[in-house]
Amino acid sequence: MAEKKRTTIILFSGEYDKAMAAYIIANGAAAYDHEVTIFHTFWGLNALRKDNQAPVKKGFLEKMFGKMMPRGADKMGLSKMNYLGMGPKMMKQVMKKHNAMPLPDLISMAQEQDIKLLACTMTMDLLGLQKEELLDNIEYGGVGAYVGDSEDANITLFI
């Protein structure tokens, strides 16, 4: 029996279009029967935030980061043509017109396809994000977990 192919993606960026690209590639690779891990670090953690405010205690700096960063996939801006929020609206409108999946649906699909969603505990700590604020049924780990999943991977990407 042949070994399973494997794809791992580091999602560092916090933009809607880059997160979309990450999840489209991840879902695509899973459809071709790859084992897939998405390691969410730095601003990429925002894709995993719940959109309601979780009742957690934070220090001042952590509160600031929490307020300044987008609360969940649907709130992210674009990497280009952001234009005070017009870009993401245009993008979402054009996606709707062409029946393309919005980012939150791509994330649900990834969970249904058993893609491992890994949250970087080191940057959670730095940015003051707590498990209660992130989606359920994800995994937690550091760079060691990423390296472990990636060293036999066929496709490795940093987005």
Identify which of residues 44 and 134 has a Cβ nearer to a copy of itself in the complex. 44
DSSP-assigned letters across all residues of the chain: -PPPPEEEEEE----HHHHHHHHHHHHHHHHTT-EEEEEE-GGGGGGGB-SSPP-----HHHHHHHHHS-SSGGG---SS--GGGHHHHHHHHHHHHTTPPPHHHHHHHHHHTT-EEEEEHHHHHHHT--GGGBPSS-EEE-HHHHHHHHTT-SEEEE-
- Each residue 13-42 as x (binds a copy of itself by CB under 8 A) or -, in order, gives xx--xx--x--xx--xx-xx-x------xx
Q: Is 95 in the site for a copy of itself (CB under 8 A)?
A: yes
Residue in 51, 132, 139, 151 binding a copy of itself, rule: CB under 8 A: 151
Provide the minimum distance between the beta carbon of 61 and a copy of itself in the complex, in angstroms, as a whole number.
5
Q: How many residues belong to the site for a copy of itself (CB under 8 A)?
A: 59
Provide the minimum distance between the beta carbon of 136 and a copy of itself in the complex, in angstroms, as a whole number.
25
Provide the minimum distance between the beta carbon of 115 and a copy of itself in the complex, in angstroms, as a whole number.
14
- Each residue 75-94 as x (binds a copy of itself by CB under 8 A) or -, in order, gives ----xxx--------xx-xx
